[in-house]
Structure 1
Amino acid sequence: MIITCNTNALNKAIQTAQRAIISKPSTPIFSCIHLFTQEGKLSVQAMDLNMAISCTLDADITQEGEIVVSAKHLSELIRKLPSETLTIAKNTENKTIKVTSGKSEFQLLLMNEEDYPKFPDFNGDKTITIADEKIKELIKKTIFSCSNDESRPLFTGILVEAKDNKITFVGTNTHRLAIKSLEQETAEPMSMIIPSKVLLEISRNLTGELPQEVKISLLNNQIMVVIDNVVIVSRLIEGKFPDYNRVIPAKFAVNCKVNAKELAGAVERVALFSTEGDYSIVKLSVTAEELTLTSSSPDVGTGRETIACAATGDKLNVAFNSKYLLDILKNIDADEINMAMNTSLSPVCITCEAEKDYIYIVTPVRVVF
C-alpha cells in the first residue's frame, strides 16, 4: 500500500475512529487502527466488542492495500507532523510502514491485518433519518441525565422512541429524568436504548457548516449511524426501560414561576457553601413572592440568597442536589421556568411555556430544615 493524503484530514479521521477503542482492550488487536484503500478512497476503522467506527477520506492511491497499526502511536505521530501532506508506504517484508512528511521520516511496526475483525456488515430492518439540528437538540437536552454507573447499564443510555410522527429521547439515572420530544415523520414505530457514548459520537461529528442528516438503522440489538463519511455501528443496551410517564405526577399543589438565569446564578453561588462531593445540597424555601436558597458547611460557612418568584399554593421547603438543578437550568431555552411540587420529598417537575415538549423531573433530597 502506498497512499498520499492531507495530514489534517487523516488526523481527523483517526481521532474520530479511535474513540471506539476502550482504555483497556480485551486483546491487543483492538488497540489498533485499520487503514485500507477501497474504491479510490482511504478508509480508517477502529472497534471494540461493543462499537465500531469507520471514516473515509480522499487520498492519492499509488498502490492499493491495507495495514493494521497501533492506534496510539499512529495518531500521536500524525497529530504532530509538520507538513500539510504525508505519504504512507507499506513494507511487506519487514512488516512496517514508512510515514514521510516534508523532511520527516518514520517507521512503525505493523500487526497482522488478517487478525483484525471485519467491520460489521449491516442492513437494518428499520431506518429513521433525522436532521442534524434536531438530533443535536434531543441529545443535548437529555444526555446529562444519564448515569455513569456501568454496573447499571440500563441507565447509561438514552431511550429513543419514534412513533405517531414524533421522536422522543429520555434519559434518567433514577434520581432525575429528562424527556424531550420533537416532530418527526416516521414510517414505522421504533424503540431502542442507545448508549450515551454513541450519542456523544453523533454530536461530535455534527460540526459541519452545511446542514447534515443522520441516518439510524436498527437491526435486532444493533444500530448503524451514518453521518456523511462516518459510520458508527454499536450494540444497543438491552433491557426494559422504566415507564417514564408513571414518574410524572398527575397534579401539583405548588407552582413556582421563576427567572431561569437568576435561579441558576443563585444556585451556583449558594452551592459554594455546601458540602463538597457528589451531593452539594441547596435548600429552597418557596413562598408566594420569594424563593430563598440556603446552604451551609461546618468547613466553609453559610450561604443565603433570595430571588423573586410567583408561586401558588402553600409555603414549601425542598432541597436538591445543586448539580441536578444547574444541569436543567443551563439546558432549558427559556427566560422563565415553572417548578411544580407537591411535598418536600415528592418528585418536582420543571417545565417552561416556551418549550412544552421538554420535561425534567428531579427527586428532592431528604434534609432537616
Structure 2
Amino acid sequence: MKLECLKDKFRQVVNQAERATSRNPTLPILSTVLLEAKNNKLKIKATNLEIGLEIELNAKVEEDGLVAINANVLNNFLSNLNKEDKIKIELINNNLKIETLNSKTILKSLNIEDFPIIPKVETKESFKINSKDFLNGIHSVLFASAISDIKPEISSVYIYQKQNKICFVATDSFRLAEKNISLTVNEFLPIIIPFKNITEIIRVFDGIEDDLEIKTNKHQLSIFSSEVHFTTRIIDGVYPDYKQIIPKEFKTEVFISKTDLLNALKLANIFSDKFNQVNIDLNSTTKELIIHSLNQDIGENTLTLKIEIKGEDINLNLNVRYLLDCLTIITEEKIKIQLNEKNKPLLIQGQINNSFCYLVMPINR
C-alpha cells in the first residue's frame, strides 16, 4: 500500500468510522478501521457487529493494499496534525507509515484476516429517497422513541410504506410522533431500526445531499450513497398497532400561535414539578388557554393566551417537556390541538400541513 491523500478529509472519515468500532478486549480487531487502497480510492471500513460502515474518498494510489489500524490511535494522531494539507501513507512490513512535511510516524497493524465481513443486503426490496427527506423523517419522530431497550420494538424508529407515502413513527407509550414523506417508491417490508443505530445514521448521513438507496431484509438494513455504505441490524419483531389509539373524533379543537405557546411553555417549564407537570385550562367562553405551573420549592406561574376554540371546555395536566419537544418540529406558525376528555390523548398538528402529527397522553395525578 502506498498513497497520498488530503489530511482533513481522511481525518473526518476516520473520525466517523471510529464511532462504528467497538473496544472489545476479547475481539481487538473490532477496535480497528480497515484501510483499503485501490483504483485511486481509499476505502475506510469499520464495524462493531451491530452496525457497519464503509466510506470512500479520493486518493492518489501508487500501490494497492489493505491494513487494519487501531481507530482511536489513528483518529487521535490525525486530529493533532494541525498544519498539514496532505499526508503520505505506506505499508511497510505490515506497519503503517504516515509521513508529513515534518514528521514520520509508524503505527502497528492487526491481522486483516480477522476483520469481519461487513454484509451488504442483497434484495429486490429497495427504494430511493433524498437524504434530506430521509433524515427529516427520522428527526421528526426520534425524540418520541423510548430510550430504554427493555421493549426493543418501541426503542426504535418504525418506517413503513402507505400508498404514496413513507411513514416514520416513534413512541415511548406516553407519546407518539408520526411523519409522512410524500414519495412513490418500490414496495418494501416495514423496518424497525434500533434507537442507538438511528443516531449513527443521522451522524453519518448529515450533510450528504445525494439520494440514498435503501435495501432491507428481515434482519438487516443497508443504506447507500455515492461514497458511503452503512449497514445496521434491524429489530425482527412487530411494531405496536399505534393507529388504534389515535382518536377518530374530537370534542374540542384549538388553534393557537406556535410562537406564543412555545414561549409560554418555556416559562411554565421553569416552575413545573418533578413530573414536569403543568395544568392546561381551555375556556371556550373567554377563548383563552391558561397555563399554570407549580413547584413547591420554587414558586408558581400562570400565563394566559388568546386562542380560537371550537367545542367544550377542558382542563388537563400535561408533561410540559413533551409539548416543547413537538413544537420545535412543527414548521407552521399556527398549530391545531384536538382534544377529548381530560384523561384522553390529545393530537397536535400544523393548521394546514398534516404531514406531522403528535399524540400525547395527559398526566393523571
Given the two structures, how large is their TM-score scaled by the length of structure 2? 0.94
Local SS of the residue matching 2:186: coil
CA deviation map 1:204-253 (0-9, x unaligned): 32414xx4201101123111101220100111112110111101012111
CA distance in 1, matches of 2:250, 2:19: 44
CA distance in 1, matches of 2:26, 2:173: 31
- Please report how far the alpha carbon of residue 24 of structure 1 lies from its aligned counterpart in structure 2 after TM superposition: 5.7
- Please report how far the alpha carbon of residue 41 of structure 1 lies from its aligned counterpart in structure 2 after TM superposition: 1.0
Percent of aligned pairs sharing the same letter: 25
Local SS of the residue matching 1:262: helix
Residue 282 in structure 1 maps to residue 278 in structure 2:
yes
Q: After TM superposition, list the pairs within 5 Å mapping 1:1-369 onto structure 2.
A: 1-22=1-22, 27-82=27-82, 83-92=84-93, 95-204=94-203, 205-208=205-208, 211-276=209-274, 279-288=275-284, 289-367=287-365
Partners of 2:7 and 2:85 within 8 A in 1: yes
- Please report how far the alpha carbon of residue 195 of structure 1 lies from its aligned counterpart in structure 2 after TM superposition: 2.6
- Please report how far the alpha carbon of residue 121 of structure 1 lies from its aligned counterpart in structure 2 after TM superposition: 3.5
Given the two structures, how large is their TM-score scaled by the length of structure 1? 0.93
- Please report how far the alpha carbon of residue 287 of structure 1 lies from its aligned counterpart in structure 2 after TM superposition: 0.8
Local SS of the residue matching 1:141: helix
Partners of 2:52 and 2:231 within 8 A in 1: yes
CA distance in 1, matches of 2:24, 2:341: 46
CA deviation map 1:26-79 (0-9, x unaligned): 622211111111333111011112110100011112222111111111111112
Provide closer, same or farther for how the CA distance between residues 121 and 216 of structure 1 changes in structure 2, counting only shifts above 3 A. Answer: closer
Partners of 2:178 and 2:357 within 8 A in 1: yes
- Please report how far the alpha carbon of residue 353 of structure 1 lies from its aligned counterpart in structure 2 after TM superposition: 2.6
Q: What root-mean-square deviation, in Å, do the aligned CA atoms of Structure 1 and Structure 2 show?
A: 1.8
CA distance in 1, matches of 2:188, 2:150: 30
Local SS of the residue matching 1:155: coil
CA distance in 1, matches of 2:108, 2:273: 51
Partners of 1:176 and 1:362 within 8 A in 2: yes
- Please report how far the alpha carbon of residue 189 of structure 1 lies from its aligned counterpart in structure 2 after TM superposition: 4.1
CA deviation map 1:103-143 (0-9, x unaligned): 12222221111111122143223010002232132112111
Letter in 2 for 1:282: V
Provide closer, same or farther for how the CA distance between residues 136 and 354 of structure 1 changes in structure 2, counting only shifts above 3 A. Answer: farther
Provide closer, same or farther for how the CA distance between residues 44 and 189 of structure 1 changes in structure 2, counting only shifts above 3 A. Answer: closer
- Please report how far the alpha carbon of residue 102 of structure 1 lies from its aligned counterpart in structure 2 after TM superposition: 2.2
Equivalent residue pairs, number: 361
Provide closer, same or farther for how the CA distance between residues 241 and 4 of structure 1 changes in structure 2, counting only shifts above 3 A. Answer: same
CA distance in 2, matches of 1:49, 1:16: 16
Partners of 2:147 and 2:195 within 8 A in 1: no
CA deviation map 1:253-280 (0-9, x unaligned): 121211111111111111111235xx32
Partners of 1:163 and 1:186 within 8 A in 2: no
Partners of 1:163 and 1:189 within 8 A in 2: no
Partners of 2:121 and 2:216 within 8 A in 1: no
- Please report how far the alpha carbon of residue 186 of structure 1 lies from its aligned counterpart in structure 2 after TM superposition: 2.0
Unaligned runs of 5+ in 2: none
Letter in 2 for 1:129: K
